[in-house]
A and B are shown apart, each in its own frame.
Chain A
Amino acid sequence: RKEVEQDPGPFNVPEGATVAFNCTYSNSASQSFFWYRQDCRKEPKLLMSVYSSGNEDGRFTAQLNRASQYISLLIRDSKLSDSATYLCVVNSGYGGATNKLIFGTGTLLAVQP
Chain B
Amino acid sequence: DTGVSQDPRHKITKRGQNVTFRCDPISEHNRLYWYRQTLGQGPEFLTYFQNEAQLEKSRLLSDRFSAERPKGSFSTLEIQRTEQGDSAMYLCASSAGAEGDTQYFGPGTRLTVL
Which residue of chain B has the shortest Cβ distance to A30 in the bound complex?
B100
Contact partners of A43 in chain B: CB under 8 A: 91, 105-108
CB of A99 within 8 A of CB of B48, answer yes
> Which residues in chain A, 68-113, are within 8 Å of chain B measured between CB atoms?
87, 89, 91, 93, 96-106
A102 pairs with B100, CB closer than 8 A = no
Chain A: number of interface residues, binned into ranges: 20 to 34
Which among A44, A49, A89, A100 is the interface contact of B56 at CB below 8 angstroms?
Answer: A100
Indicate whether A31 reaches chain B with its CB closer than 8 angstroms.
yes
Is B105 in contact with A100, judged by CB distance below 8 angstroms? no
CA distance A43 to B107 in the complex (A): 5
Contacts of A49 in B (CB 8 A): 102
Highest count of chain B CB atoms <10 Å: which of A32, A96, A98, A101: A101
Residues of A with C-beta under 8 A to B75 = none
Instruction: Kindly identify which residue among B42, B91, B95, B105 contacts A99, using a CB–CB cutoff of 8 Å.
Output: B95
Query: What bracket does the count of chain B residues touching chain A fall in?
Result: 20 to 34
Whole-angstrom distance between the Cβ of B26 and the nearest chain A Cβ: 13
Chain A 23-41 interface residues, beta-carbon cutoff 8 Å to B: 31-32, 34
Q: Are A46 and B102 in touch, CB under 8 angstroms?
A: yes
Contact B48 A45 (CB under 8 A): no
Contact residue among B41, B42, B99 (Cβ-Cβ distance under 8 Å from A93) = B99
CB distance from A33 to the nearest CB of B (A): 9
Q: Which of B58-90 contact A (CB under 8 A)?
A: 58
**Closest approach, in angstroms, between the C-beta of A106 and any C-beta of chain B?**
5
User: B residues within 8 Å of A by Cβ?
Assistant: 31, 33, 35, 40-45, 48, 55-56, 58, 91, 93, 95, 99-108
